[in-house]
């Protein structure tokens, strides 16, 4: 092998290493986070305390089949309908009767 073939091989290996680094440090953690968020949103049920991505805090009082939830907010028990994708976090999950 001559010097130019060795240099080309090193460059190819370097590109592969850079791509692998991007995958393991950027792409893979982001996809795992997205998958966990989707799982959390799908698990929202009646009785859960949620916070929307807009900052609205409420308790789930109904689940619609069109991928939306009815939440109750504040002391005046105002109800509003939000989509599942708008759930930012589930603060306190419902208690299952055993």
What confidence tens digit (pLDDT) does each residue in 30-87 have?
A: 999 999 999 999 999 999 999 999 999 999 999 998 889 999 998 888 999 999 999 9
pLDDT of residue 75: 85
Domain 43-92 is found in CATH 2.30.30.140: yes
Structure token pair of residue 26 = 């950027």
Indicate the pairing of strand 49-52 with strand 57-63.
Answer: antiparallel
Structure token pair of residue 48 = 């859960």
Structure token pair of residue 15 = 């590109």
pLDDT of residue 95: 61
Structure token pair of residue 44 = 């929202």
């Amino acid at each position: 092998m001559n010097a130019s073939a060795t240099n080309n091989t090193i460059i190819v290996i370097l590109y592969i290493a850079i791509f692998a680094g991007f995958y393991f440090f950027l792409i893979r953690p982001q996809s795992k986070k997205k998958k966990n968020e989707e799982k959390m949103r799908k698990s929202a049920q009646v009785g859960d305390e949620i916070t929307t991505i807009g900052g609205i805090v409420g308790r789930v009082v109904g689940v619609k089949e069109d991928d939306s939830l009815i939440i109750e907010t504040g002391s005046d028990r105002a109800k509003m309908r939000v989509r599942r994708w708008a759930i930012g976090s589930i603060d306190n999950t419902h208690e299952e009767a055993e």
